[in-house]
Amino acid sequence: MALRTILTEGEPSLNKVSRKVEKFDARLHELLDDMHETLAQAEGVGLAAPQVGVLRRAVLVDNGETVLELINPEILEQDGEQDGLEGCLSIPGQYGLVKRPMHVKVRAQDRDGNWYETEGEGLTARCFCHEIEHLDGILYRSRAYRMLTPEELEELRQSEEEEEEEQA
């Protein structure tokens, strides 16, 4: 396994539509293994292949129990609404407010090509939407109705530090 470089906003790959995965081979497995390592190191909740410069429809989503591998994912159902903060490893240090469905059902293939279905609520539902949009070259900035100001970011940073102190 190896760490891959996470591309940041401005890199043209992030705005391109990724192609379907057709070969469920060792090369795909290596990509997924590298993405797991890269996501863990970055302490993120999701990562899409185009974020590491590979224009293929493959994403990882940490649903709180496990890190799901979703190949060629499609949203089957979505309902409800949530309005909240969203960030992206490709837009470091920033957050925006984005409305997303509260519940999302997804169909995807695993690393061997088997189709399966999974669902998520709250943050996981948000993450499914966010990662799948990466495959169509969409960054959440274009979905956000507002990005946080530097002052709000500072407040957020301070409240996170206080939380960490409380937990310690």
Residues catalogued as catalytic? 131
Q: Which is nearer to Ni ion, 70 or 88 (CB)?
A: 88
- The one among 88, 125, 129, 132 contacting Ni ion by CB under 5 A: 88
Considering only the stretches 67-75, 87-95, 109-117, 150-158, report the one whose residues sit in contact with Ni ion under the rule CB under 5 A: 87-95
Compute the least distance from the CB of residue 6 to Ni ion, in Å.
9
Q: Binding of Ni ion at residue 59 (CB under 5 A)? A: no
Which residue has the CB atom at the shortest distance from Ni ion?
88
Question: Cα torsion for 121, 100, 61, 153, to the nearest 10°?
Answer: -110
Compute the least distance from the CB of residue 112 to Ni ion, in Å.
26
Compute the least distance from the CB of residue 130 to Ni ion, in Å.
5
How many of the other CB atoms lie within 10 Å of CB of 110? 14
Q: Which is nearer to Ni ion, 64 or 92 (CB)?
A: 92
Rounded distance between C-alpha atoms, residue 91 and residue 103, angstroms = 25
Considering only the stretches 25-33, 88-96, 120-128, 154-162, report the one whose residues sit in contact with Ni ion under the rule CB under 5 A: 88-96
Binding footprint of Ni ion, residue count (CB under 5 A): 1
Task: Give how far Cα 51 sits from Cα of 58, 59, 140, 144, Å.
Answer: 10, 10, 13, 19
Own/partner contacts of 39-47, CB < 8 Å, gap of 24 or more, are 39/67, 41/3, 42/6, 42/89, 44/89, 45/123, 45/127, 46/127, 46/130, 46/131, 47/6, 47/89, 47/131
From residue 102 to residue 141, the character string flagging contacts with Ni ion as x (rule: CB under 5 A) and all else as - is ----------------------------------------
Region at 84 (left for phi over 0; alpha for psi -120 to 50; beta for the rest): beta
Binding region for Ni ion (CB under 5 A) = 88
